[in-house]
Amino acid sequence: MDEHIDGHIMDEHTTRAEARIHWPGLRLPVTVLLDDPTPCRNPAWYEFPDQGHEAVVPNRFTEEFADLIDRTGAAGKFSVVPCPGAQGRIDEGMPGVSDEEMAGFLRLARERIAPRWDISPEMLTHNKALDLATMRPIEEREDVWAARQDERTLTPYIARGLEILRNVGLEPNGVTSPWAFGQEVEKDYARAIETALREVCGVRVGWYFLHIDSYSPLVPPRVARLDPAGADGGTALVSISTAARQSGAGHYDFAWRTQFGEPDDIDALLTADGTGGRLAELYANGSPLSFHTHWQSLFSNGSGTGLAAMGRLIERINGVWGERVRWTSNWPTTPRRAPPPTSPPTTRAGAWSWTRRSPAPSLPSPCQSHPARRRSRSTGRRWNMPLTTRPSCTRAVGAATQEEPRPYAFPYATAPSWCGDALK
């Protein structure tokens, strides 16, 4: 992590390894990656039609979600599925959903959610893939289809989802992968996302969500692509991961089981006293705090117990860390280049910013018993530089390896905690 934001700005010679992402407001970012929001309907009802899920998600529920984020200041990303269940497109009206109902959802998304949360499509259907020529489903699920695609076929597919969201007045600035869409062809996938975001939305520094990183001590955003000399004044793409770990109950999503009337797992992320859980581990390491959940998990088939659990979790985070963390959307901003006219605003409260790394970072002491102290150039404050948790490894982690998180030999939970006062 870097505490001075006045470093060099990127120029056309900047490489991916040199690009550095700054924490907004120099505080630890915390972000919720909310998957699967589907206008007016329960995504689980489309995906598992035989499981007896409640079909209709009333707009009153979406309003309650908006009230919650207003009340708590929580931020993150919010997917909107453009062609739910492969049964229609939300910009042309969905079968069984009245125009008024659809308009109500979209108004809430535009006016109450998008000001603080980033909007992304979650591919087109979160179900069967579509033939773009006819917009009819083919027999394969989107993730299965994607595994055999390349940049040439993925770009128009992603672009179609972005276009549909723009048609309903939303301004996506990233892409969410349904399931592990694109994982097998990630290089092509990342290029396709970058091109589609630039061409359809005028977004040159975009993001995508594909990966889960449950055990790394640090789970920062990773610069997946960087082309400062590219079209329209340069482009880049940042990969945002969730850091959630599978709980004892077998789910990564703290609210998943509420769909079945079972309890939530917020303690796996942060215990009530603030000392345990995955987020406490990340905090101790000076890592951004990221976790994910699903629209169907918050809706809980009509009971809303998942949303209530999310409210408790957010209040817990705010209560334990307060001003030491900042709720953050996914969208990294670059301060220098003027955006093309179609671009949404270049800055928003709580967004990431970035610059060229300056100068080559000095690595802290590799000794685990004596974590290196670093001093902020701008404020004179000192903090502990996190080190790797693997005793045999002498390589320090932190700003020096920010763009390439790597897997660790064993869970952090079993390693000594030596930098709990980081960022105090």
Contacts with Zn ion by CB under 5 A lie at 35-36, 178
C-beta of 3 vs 36, nearer to Zn ion: 36
Q: How far is CA 39 from the centre of its chain?
A: 20
Q: Closest distance between Zn ion and the C-beta of residue 177, in Å?
A: 8
Give residue 2's identity as a one-letter amino acid code: D
Q: Which residues contact 268 (CB under 8 A, 6 or more apart)?
A: 245, 247, 248, 254, 277, 278
- Beta bridge partner(s), residue 55: none
Tokens 């982690």: give the residue.
Answer: 397
**Angle CA(33)–CA(34)–CA(35) in degrees, nearest 5?**
110
Residue 295 C-beta: closest distance to Zn ion, Å:
9
Yes or no: say if 255 and 306 are a contact pair by the CB < 8 Å rule.
Answer: yes
Secondary structure (3-state) at 304: coil
- How many angstroms from the chain centroid is the CA of residue 290? 7
Q: Which is nearer to Zn ion, 36 or 213 (CB)?
A: 36
Q: Compute the least distance from the CB of residue 44 to Zn ion, in Å.
A: 10
Give CA–CA dist 340/198, Å, rounded.
Answer: 9
Report the residue number, 177 or 334, with the smaller CB distance to Zn ion. Answer: 177
Nearer to Zn ion, 36 or 188 (CB): 36
- Distance CA(53)–CA(76), nearest Å, equals 26
CB of 179 to Zn ion, least distance (A): 7
In the complex, least distance from residue 296 CB atom to Zn ion, rounded to whole angstroms: 9
Minimal distance, residue 194 CB to Zn ion, in Å = 21
The Cα-based distances of 255 to 259, 266, 364 in angstroms read 8, 8, 39
19 close to 352: Cβ distance less than 8 angstroms: no
The least distance separating Zn ion from the CB of residue 374, rounded to whole angstroms, comes to 39
Torsion of the alpha carbons at 226, 404, 81 and 301, rounded to the nearest 10: -160
| Nearest approach, Cβ of residue 273 and Zn ion (Å) | 32
Pick the closer one to Zn ion by CB: 178 or 350. Answer: 178
Q: Please, which residue, 3 or 143, has the CB nearer to Zn ion? A: 143
* Between 77 and 116, CB nearer to Zn ion: 77
33 residue type, one letter? L
| Shorter beta-carbon distance to Zn ion: residue 36 or 118 | 36
Q: What ranges in 57-173 are assigned the alpha helix state H? A: 59-72, 99-108, 142-146, 151-167
Instruction: State the nearest-atom distance from the C-beta of 202 to Zn ion, in Å.
Output: 26
When the beta carbons of 43 and 234 are compared against Zn ion, the nearer one is 43
Q: Are 29 and 423 in contact (CB under 8 A)?
A: no
d(CA 331, CA 283): 21
Q: Which residues contact 36 (CB under 8 A, 6 or more apart)?
A: 43, 79, 81, 122, 126, 178, 294, 295, 296
Tokens encoding 341 = 């006219």
User: Closest CB to Zn ion belongs to which residue?
Assistant: 35
- Output 35 or 194, the one with its CB closest to Zn ion: 35
Q: How far is the CB of 29 from Zn ion (least distance, A)?
A: 22
